[in-house]
Amino acid sequence: MLRVYASHTSCGGLSHIRRKAPVPRLRRWMSVRPEQQHKTPDARKKVTIAELQKMRDAGTPISMLTTYDYPSARALSANPQIDIAFVGDSLAQVCLGHTSTTELTLDEMIHHTRAVRRGTKHPLLLADMPFGSYNVSAEDTLRNAVRLVQQGGAEAVKMEGGVELAGVVRRLGTIGIPVMAHIGLMPQRCNASGFRVQGRDAESARGVLADALALEDAGAFAVVLEAIPHKLGEYITNRLRIPTIGIGAGNMTSGQVLVWDDMMGTWAGHKAKFVRRFADVKTERDAGVQRYAAAVRDRSFPSATESYAMDDAEWNKFLRHEEK
């Protein structure tokens, strides 16, 4: 509501009327309230596909991390060295408790991508196309990719597959949806192939290379190389003109990606050989839960400083009224 303030001249006339919005007060009694929206300069300008290509050409490694919600997106955006915020289908396991990425639906992916969109500032926002959303027909693929962009806010999409996806990658490019390809180990196909390193013999290595070249030719702006020998990862990187993002492909790819929960040490499941824990959040998280539960049980929480007081006179007045 706007308040009206009248300013008078020396003759008592009304010279003008000012309208001023009331100053909002912080409500300390609210346990949850919206963040203060301070307008501060962004730490880095928005990352574009053109910038990623320039980084690749200059030999500057590209940093990509998964993110599934608003808080983790804010954490990525707080670091100017993170280039790509990736809503991966790994959220099926690490966030939703599914046993496989194939159980994730497009609606769930859109839901999480929207949350990440609200927290993402400078990183390019990339979203996985879930299993089944691009495997039926080209028309379905186009519709589903458009939904990820329109409803989810994704700026690019990622798809697992090789030569067989070249046609749909090309079609998505014609309508302005950039595609990052994913070859090598493809988790969405684990039921058929298993979780095994790919390209370890000459024939399969040629197959991985053929996939990479076909997808580059189809217009993919980058290619994820997962679980392949480091020599093959470097070779493919040198053969392609577009960035390669490695995950278990050695340190000579154009960039690297890890799953947030692997990197932070919060995932209690299988730890792949290529995973490095850069933090031990799980240990501190579990300790925090234990400390909270203990403080509740022994009534040390909340303390007097964490409680709200009431004037003694008002309290006594309340008691007298109730005791009538």
What residues are annotated to the active site? 226
The crossing angle, in degrees rounded to 10, of helices 202-218 and 230-239 is 30
CA distance 214 to 90: 26
Strand pairing partners for 137? none
Q: How many Cα atoms occupy the beta-carbon half-sphere of 185 within 13 Å?
A: 19
What one-letter code names the amino acid at 304? A
